[in-house]
Amino acid sequence: MKKQPPVREEDFQHPVDIDEELGLFDHPKNVKRLLFGFFTCVALLLMVDFFFHKHTLFPWEGAFGFYAVYGFVACVVLVLVAKYILRPLVMRKEDYYD
């Protein structure tokens, strides 16, 4: 498979001569805005964790940020399982449809 050159921010400074319109997330400035909003929401939700009493079954559930860390680790595990275990199971050879 042919490697694509990396996309640089300078590539989006000039008008593009293609018939297709650029999408919302094709501009690095929009991606930075989205990430800023995302990380702001994460910080606010972690701060809210101070003010709510949790009804826990196990002592470690009451730790600050437990559910955030638990959710992050679960998401990372899902991605790794999908990439290294499920992908090889369902992947076809490159010339399968030829």
Cα 22 to chain center, whole Å?
Answer: 21
In the chain, where are the structural domains located?
Answer: 9-90
Q: For residue range 27-74, list pLDDT tens digits in order.
A: 889 999 999 999 999 999 888 888 888 889 999 998 988 988 999 999
What's the predicted TM-score (pTM) here?
A: 0.58
Evaluate if residue 17 carries a pLDDT over 60: no
Nearest to 89 by CA among 81, 78, 79: 81
- Report how far residue 75's alpha carbon sits from residue 54's, in angstroms, rounded to the nearest whole number: 22
Amino acid at 3: K
Inter-CA distances, 23 with 5, 12, 17, 26, 43, Å: 20, 12, 15, 5, 28
